[in-house]
Homo-oligomer: A and B are copies of this chain.
Amino acid sequence: MVTMSDIAKMAGVSQPTVSRVLNGKGAKARISPATQKRIKEIARELQFRPSFAGQALVSGRTKSIGFICGNIRNPYYTEMADIAMQAVEERGYHLLMGVARWVTWQNDLECFDSLLARGVDGVIYFGSALAPGRTQYEQVLREHYPLVSVNYRFPRIPSILSDAQPGMNEAFALLKANGHSRVLGVWLVQEEKHHPFVKAAKEFGFDAEFTTKFKSGSANRPDQSLQNMRREAHCFAERMDRPSAVFVTSDQYAAAFIGGLWDKGILVPRDVSVFAYDGTRAGEYMTPPLTSIRQDLPEMIHKALEIIFDRIDGKNTFDSDTTITLPTRLIVRESIGPAVDRRTGG
């Protein structure tokens, strides 16, 4: 490895001089043009690369942000990560992904520990385990650690949420305009989105059912729960009295549900209308293109990073209870069509 001392020796100057030249801190680097040129040339020749560890040690920063999610194969998280990566890179940072895999609820926190050990300067956290009482929670508070929770609210931890209601209302309006009056909601676990769904259903006069089949824990493994969702669709397909529309809790699971319907010869939206939550770009390439309630993914990430970098820079513009709630809206694509009510033979 080429170090500044190597360059210094070759140039016949002291090592700090090399540092000053190569970092060129404006007016501070009052080094004679001749030496500057010489040093820069040698550095280029030797292909000098500043040692990351050296810089990190002295600066106390690793210039990296952690991104903790449960499953990178879900396009929702992939798209979030992609957006986050681009955003942090603009500030010269890297994104370090932690995939909790959500087998047990603690995986989130193990991920957090592991990223902290790696010295990330801040964390975007999509987990649900950072509750008061846990050491990691206390640590975040005590150290005023730059962490933002997304999609989940913890006391005294800045968080970014989406308000499902507006998108949900739009969806029900569209459903109604298409003659639907009965709808099934499918969740993985008890979720916040439940309430906006119920509220919209009531408001638009729908007859709403819901299932929350899957428990957290080991049944949470992505492949397995996608299969479960597919089977859920099989059951649904065979019901004589099934509703004409289905809401699925996320785009990825909607794909599995639609796949399950397809297995049984049920076409969307010809036979059943389906809509989902998330509004990922990936939904555009499902068959049919998925109508979905869109969270403002870029804005969510940008706000989260704004808070994180604000803390990193010691500005403290945002207090710990900062909660930013962003509206959702319906992305109308092709998966909602005219109601086919089996009870009335329509």
Contact = CB atoms under 8 A, between A and B. Distances in A.
Interface SS of A by simple majority: helix
B52 A56 contact: yes
A169 B79 CA distance: 35
Contacts of A99: 82, 85-86
A47 B116 CA distance: 12
Copy total for this chain: 2
B285 A255 contact: yes
Of the listed residues A56, A85, A135, the one surrounded by the most CB atoms of chain B closer than 10 A to its CB is A56
Interface of A: 1, 47, 49-54, 56-57, 60, 62-64, 72-73, 75, 78-79, 81-82, 85-86, 89, 94-97, 99, 114, 116-119, 135, 139, 223, 226, 252, 255-256, 258-259, 262, 281-282, 284-289
A286 B260 CA distance: 10
Contacts of A119: 51-53
Contacts of A262: 287-289
Nearest to A1: B60
B285 A287 contact: no
A53 B62 contact: yes
A78 B51 CA distance: 30
B56 A116 contact: no
Nearest to A282: B73
8 contacts: A47-B135, A50-B117, A53-B56, A72-B81, A78-B78, A259-B285, A259-B287, A286-B287
A62 B52 contact: yes
